[in-house]
């Protein structure tokens, strides 16, 4: 797991650039609104922490990452803020909103078919690029930055008992769990995925990687298997919940109409899983992002 001193240092580096996001009550729980961060997701926490921890020469080279969308926008935003160039390798099926978000922050998207992009990652082809590569979820500094969210929760919710976290590559829950297991080990860390891409529950059951085709509106959770994250998630996640895809699709308009929160598919996962829990202990569900395609949102609302 990531050391708590490293998490505190990473959170302090990122602090001037990120929002201390609010908590709002809903259905006996609290929602942590990371959808309100700059670029609309938690990813800026980790990317600011990692970029500001680079050697100055590494940072001057610019930044490159690979992403389904939210890490792409975070990397682009961080690069613009710090005055360096940025390129991002993305699925060619990424939501147009996220591709345009990358361009809006002055970065260059490099679009690839999913299989080609996964091969690019597997072959570590970023080593051939001129920019400094920041891994979107397995970089320890990125995860340490995400762990700052857990530090905020412990300060803002003294009686915190359990945290529900949407899981894609695992960087968010890896950072959160690393902090909680050190600072308040009795807090239960619950990972949440859709049954349209329940990668980690399937892999943990099988004891290793499995092949799954993504069939979910939670595009932000469709990262590939990574052996490093597999070992970390085995160690630090207490429980897993799987949300049926129809329930996830209904949770998005519920959040918009009842809680006045706009969440993308991945962002709504933890909220959608609340109904599977017994009531009682103080619970926080992380709304990880709000970058939903407007046409999809309109369709779900109707």
What is the number of structural domains in the chain? 2
Which domain-ending residue is among 105, 133, 161? Answer: 133
Distance between CA atoms of residues 225 and 209, nearest Å: 6
Which domain-ending residue is among 83, 114, 133? Answer: 133
Q: Which residues are catalytic?
A: 43, 288
- pLDDT value, residue 71: 92
Chain CA centroid to CA 265, Å: 12
Residue 33 forms beta bridges with which residues? 287
Query: Do residues 151 and 291 share a domain?
Result: yes
Query: Do residues 32 and 54 share a domain?
Result: no
Query: Do residues 172 and 280 share a domain?
Result: yes
The answer to whether residues 149 and 175 touch, using CB atoms and an 8 Å cutoff, is: yes
Among all chains, which residue has been given the structure tokens 């160690």?
A: 235
Query: Do residues 214 and 95 share a domain?
Result: no
Query: Do residues 145 and 251 share a domain?
Result: yes
- pLDDT value, residue 246: 97
Which domain-ending residue is among 133, 150, 172? Answer: 133
Residue 284 forms beta bridges with which residues? 30, 163
Query: Do residues 149 and 255 share a domain?
Result: yes
- pLDDT value, residue 216: 95
Query: Do residues 202 and 277 share a domain?
Result: yes
CATH code for the domain of 232:
3.40.50.1100
Query: Do residues 99 and 53 share a domain?
Result: yes
- pLDDT value, residue 98: 82
Domain with 95 in it: 45-133
In tens digits, what is the pLDDT along the chain, a chain of 302 residues? 899 999 999 999 999 999 999 999 998 999 999 999 999 999 999 999 999 999 999 999 999 998 878 899 999 999 999 999 999 998 888 878 888 888 999 999 999 998 888 888 888 888 889 999 999 999 999 999 999 999 999 999 999 999 999 999 999 999 999 999 999 999 999 999 999 999 999 999 999 999 899 999 998 899 888 899 999 999 999 999 999 999 999 999 999 999 999 999 999 999 999 999 998 899 999 999 999 999 999 999 98
SS3 state at 271: helix
Q: Could you tell me the sign of the dihedral formed by the alpha carbons of 94, 100, 105, 110, in that order? A: positive
Query: Do residues 146 and 292 share a domain?
Result: yes
Instruction: Write down the pTM of the prediction.
Output: 0.93
- pLDDT value, residue 90: 87
Query: Do residues 15 and 56 share a domain?
Result: no
Distance between CA atoms of residues 279 and 32, nearest Å: 18
Query: Do residues 18 and 107 share a domain?
Result: no
Residue 286 forms beta bridges with which residues? 32
Query: Do residues 37 and 59 share a domain?
Result: no
């Amino acid at each position: 797991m990531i050391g708590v001193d490293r998490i505190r240092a990473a959170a302090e580096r990122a602090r001037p650039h990120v929002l201390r996001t609010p908590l709002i009550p809903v259905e006996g729980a609290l929602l942590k609104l990371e959808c309100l961060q700059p670029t609309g997701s938690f990813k800026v926490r980790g990317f600011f922490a990692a970029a500001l921890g680079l050697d100055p020469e590494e940072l001057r080279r610019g930044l490159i990452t690979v992403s389904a969308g939210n890490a792409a926008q975070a990397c682009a935003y961080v690069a613009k803020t710090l005055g360096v160039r940025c390129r991002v390798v993305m699925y060619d099926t990424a939501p147009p909103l996220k591709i345009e978000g990358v361009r809006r922050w002055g970065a260059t998207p490099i679009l690839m078919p999913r299989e080609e992009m996964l091969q690019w990652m597997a072959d570590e082809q970023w080593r051939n690029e001129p920019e400094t590569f920041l891994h979107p979820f397995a970089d320890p500094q990125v995860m340490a930055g995400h762990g700052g969210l857990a530090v905020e929760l412990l300060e803002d919710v003294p009686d915190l008992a359990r945290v529900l976290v949407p899981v894609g590559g695992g960087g968010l829950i890896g950072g959160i769990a690393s902090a909680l297991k050190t600072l308040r080990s009795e807090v239960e860390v619950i990972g949440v995925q859709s049954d349209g891409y329940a990668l980690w529950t399937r892999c943990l059951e099988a004891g290793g990687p499995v092949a799954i085709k993504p069939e979910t509106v939670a595009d932000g959770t469709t990262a590939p298997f990574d052996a490093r994250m597999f070992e970390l998630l085995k160690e630090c996640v207490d429980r897993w919940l799987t949300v049926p895809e129809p329930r996830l699709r209904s949770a998005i308009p519920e959040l918009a109409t009842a809680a006045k929160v706009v969440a993308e598919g991945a962002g709504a996962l933890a909220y959608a899983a609340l109904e599977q829990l017994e009531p009682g202990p103080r619970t926080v569900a992380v709304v990880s992002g709000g970058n939903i395609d407007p046409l999809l949102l309109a369709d779900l609302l109707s």
